[in-house]
Structure 1
């Protein structure tokens, strides 16, 4: 008789060990998120770190890098890497050991926060796009990608913070925050992405500026690139404003942390715009003094409340979910034969 592996939350590892490993990962991989997450209450902070560790690990596996360092893609298939991520993720969600701390960390936080396979697959589908060398043709394509790699993570973070399952408006705003983060990151990392053979600027945007495909980092197109970057950051600002509105539905420390993160990541995009054509000469980052300043401003806003945007973003979570599902594989058609005894009259 074959014995099945018993279900073990966190792959059988202690929660304390998983949290310690996750905290080390975030301290190394994202100083901005690590700083903002310190404002959470301890349970929320630990769950946020567990989720981050999984996201970071997936990103590094796909890119063949370590904590966001220089891209070093080896000869192994990126498509195979994504499939391995999906298998390990599903195994972790089923409470099975994965022999990987970060995937076991996902199993732990999923059990505590009601994270589902569908949520995780939405994130993995973004990695799958990168694995096949995908590039956005339209703004809709860009926003669908941002939903996969960041908006869906925002929704998962809302679950981590204990947002009620029927609070759809709050989940929408959490998605907006993820979209804002990713759009600012894209603006900042245009040069690094180009060096790795990637471009997240829609082809239609490039065509509008008469920039040939793959040539956007050439000096002669720098002025046009600055305009496109401003367009990215303007989109990010719209979603950031909507996210601030949703923060009002959170508990105070959660609201403070979310607003601090919005300030810090928003400052990245605004600094890229401020630098103009020198934006990619050196990487934009937020120093400790500015992080403290943004956190202080977030504290005041957490008390006073956020202003409602004049207009809400065009790219809603519902719209992006539909786009994601439409772009996914077609569901299998049931192949069970249809009984016909009651349809055709038997001959006498």
Structure 2
């Protein structure tokens, strides 16, 4: 193995460790992917996490740090190589899967806006922000997952966008308390006002019937976004569907946990338990294995690059 091959392998392994540490549900779902697809998803997650941390866990100059990282990753993408492990894996993933650079530019713009924008007037404004923070994530992942025979990528894109937004909105509802501590609110201001909920109430962690009503409405909004995304799963490559269904089950499970706790997200982060995560994985594992067997039988040459 050449020095560059070793460096690339180490870069992907580094990204996998980031995904395992910070995105337990996502990382577990990726175990259902074929081995040749898995590293690219880890790279996309690690890059998004790195940029997000520059904003959420800032140093002395968050704007300067994010701008420097953004310039570096775009320069690396043009050059086709990087000495930074996360950027190297991202560059390789973008080039291998022919992902449009515009998706990365839009994501970085959304991260930059988090440095100055701390609230959103309505759902339309939040959706505009989520184009860069969530929709393009779905569009980045789509080429890695692949589409079913005869399905063009464009056909699956609206559903990838909707699922990216559903995952992001789930995070917003789970992380209300953490986000307000960082000076940001991702609940639409007009919906908050309609329920009589103020920013100060969120900051003071005051759970009451008004906040519960707000959360109930927002959970319904997010569930509709999952419903919008659902038909897209059958457009994906058969061997990628179990992963997406598992990720949807796990993130949808966060909404169920929010409801089960009486919408008390101001008291602490709501989580899907490890036994529940493992149960979802086990339920989807057989489907993933069967899909791989069927694809291999239909085309014996379609084996992963690892031989798995």
* TM-score using structure 2 length: 0.84
| Higher-Rg member (1/2) | 1
Q: Is 1:58 matched up with 2:51?
A: yes
Given the superposition, is the C-alpha separation of residues 13 and 300 from structure 1 closer, same or farther in structure 2, using an over 3 Å criterion?
closer
Q: Distance in 1 between matches of 2:6 and 2:47?
A: 15
* Cα distance in structure 2, aligned partners of 1:232 and 1:99: 42
Match of 1:42 in 2: 35
The 2-side partners of 1:301 and 1:145 are apart by 35
Where structure 1 has 5 or more consecutive residues not aligned to the other structure, the ranges are 1-10, 65-72, 304-348
**Structure 2 stretches lacking a partner, 5+ long:** 290-308
1:269 corresponds to = 255
Alignment of 1:244 onto 2:230: yes
On the 8 A contact 2:177/2:268 being kept in 1, the answer is no
CA shift for structure 1 position 141: 1.0
Runs of 4+ in 1 over 4 A off after TM superposition: 296-303
Can you list the C-alpha shifts for 1:179-222, whole angstroms capped at 9, x where unaligned?
A: 11111111110011111111111111122122334333446563
Distance 1:219 1:279 in 2: 9
Q: For residue 111 of structure 1, what is the aligned residue in structure 2?
A: 95
Give distance in 1, aligned partners of 2:165 and 2:244: 14
Return the alpha-carbon distance in structure 2 between the equivalents of residues 13 and 243 of structure 1.
38
Q: Identify the match of residue 94 of structure 1 among 74, 78, 82.
A: 78
CA distance in 1, matches of 2:286, 2:220: 24
Please identify which structure carries the higher helix content: 2
Q: Does residue 185 of structure 1 match 2:178?
A: no
Q: CA deviation at 1:298?
A: 4.5
In the TM superposition, residue 296 of structure 1 has moved relative to its aligned partner by 4.7
> 1:290-316, CA deviations, whole angstroms, 9 ceiling, x for partnerless residues?
11332355568889xxxxxxxxxxxxx
After TM superposition, the structure 1 = structure 2 runs for residues 159-308 of structure 1, keeping only pairs within 5 Å, are 159-163=143-147, 166-218=152-204, 222-298=208-284
Find the residue that maps to 1:40 and give its secondary structure.
coil
Q: Give the equivalent residue in structure 2 for 1:144.
A: 128
Q: Please report how far the alpha carbon of residue 234 of structure 1 lies from its aligned counterpart in structure 2 after TM superposition.
A: 1.5
SS at the partner of 1:280? Answer: helix
Is 85-94 or 183-192 further displaced after alignment? 85-94
- Partner of 1:260: helix, strand, or coil? helix
Please say if 1:30 is aligned against 2:23: yes
Distance 1:91 1:55 in 2: 17
Deviation at 1:246, TM superposition (A): 0.6
2-structure distance, mates of 1:215, 1:93: 44
Which one has more relative contact order, counting CA pairs under 8 Å at least 6 apart?
A: 2
Q: How far apart, CA to CA, are the structure 2 residues paired with 1:207 and 1:301?
A: 45
Count of matched residue pairs: 285
Q: Does 1:14 align with 2:2?
A: no
- After TM superposition, give the deviation of residue 282 of structure 1 in Å: 2.9
Calculate the TM-score normalised by the size of structure 1.
Answer: 0.75
